[in-house]
C-alpha cells in the first residue's frame, strides 16, 4: 500500500522555512514560553467514502463485491492536546463529533488557556491548520 501524505504548497514550505529561520537562535528560556497544540480525528473506519472493487461484468450484486457502510458515521472521536518544554496538556476529547468555533472556545480555549495566563509572560501560542492545505 502506498504511503499517504499531505503535499505542502510552495507558500506553506516558504512560511515554515522562514519561521524556522526566525527562531533558530532562540534560547531554552524563550522556548519554555511556547505551547504547541494540535487536534486530530480518530475513526474506527476509513475516512474515504470511495471504495474500489475490481469485479467481473455481471457480478455487481455478489456478496463478495458489496461493502457495508455505516450511514451515520462510526465511533470516531476528535481530540486536542498540547506540548511545551516542561510538560503537556491533558488530552481533551471533544464531547461532540464536529468541532465548531464555539465548541473549541468553550472546551479548549476557556478552560486550558485561562490557566496559562498565570504563567510567566510573555507566553506564545502557535496554532495552524495549514498542513492540511
Alpha-carbon separation of residue 103 from 47, 94, 100, 110, 129 (angstroms): 22, 8, 5, 10, 17
State the virtual CA torsion across 116, 121, 122, 127 in degrees, nearest 10: 0
Please report, in angstroms and rounded to a whole number, the separation of the first and last CA atoms in the chain.
Answer: 23
∠ Cα 123 128 129 (to 5°): 160
- Res 71: pLDDT: 53
Q: pLDDT band for 132, please (50, 70, 90 cuts).
A: very low
- Domains of the chain, residue spans: 32-127
DSSP code string of 24-72? TT--HHHHTTEEEEEEEEE-SS-S---------TT-TTSGGG-----TT
CB distance 60 to 53 below 8 Å: no
- Res 114: pLDDT: 72
- Res 2: pLDDT: 60
User: pTM for the whole thing?
Assistant: 0.58
**pLDDT tens by residue, 26-67:** 999 998 888 888 888 887 666 555 666 678 888 888 887 776
Q: pLDDT band for 122, please (50, 70, 90 cuts).
A: low
Burial class of residue 69, CB neighbours in 10 A (0-12, 13-18, 19+): exposed
- Res 32: pLDDT: 86
**pLDDT tens by residue, 67-111:** 666 555 566 788 999 898 888 989 999 877 678 888 888 888 888
- Res 6: pLDDT: 74
Q: pLDDT band for 124, please (50, 70, 90 cuts).
A: low
- Tell me the average pLDDT across 3-30: 89
Amino acid at each position: 500500500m502506498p504511503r499517504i501524505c499531505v503535499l505542502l504548497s510552495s507558500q506553506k514550505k516558504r512560511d515554515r522555512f522562514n519561521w524556522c529561520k526566525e527562531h533558530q537562535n532562540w534560547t531554552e528560556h524563550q522556548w519554555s514560553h511556547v505551547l504547541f497544540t494540535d487536534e486530530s480525528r480518530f475513526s474506527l473506519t476509513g475516512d474515504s467514502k470511495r471504495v474500489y472493487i475490481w469485479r467481473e461484468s455481471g457480478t455487481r450484486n455478489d456478496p463478495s463485491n458489496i461493502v457495508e457502510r455505516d450511514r451515520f458515521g462510526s465511533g470516531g472521536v476528535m481530540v486536542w492536546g498540547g506540548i511545551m518544554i516542561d510538560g503537556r496538556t491533558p488530552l481533551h476529547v471533544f464531547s461532540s463529533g464536529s468541532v465548531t468555533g464555539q465548541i473549541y472556545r468553550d472546551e479548549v480555549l476557556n478552560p486550558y488557556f485561562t490557566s496559562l495566563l498565570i504563567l510567566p509572560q510573555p507566553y506564545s501560542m502557535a496554532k495552524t491548520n495549514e498542513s492540511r492545505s
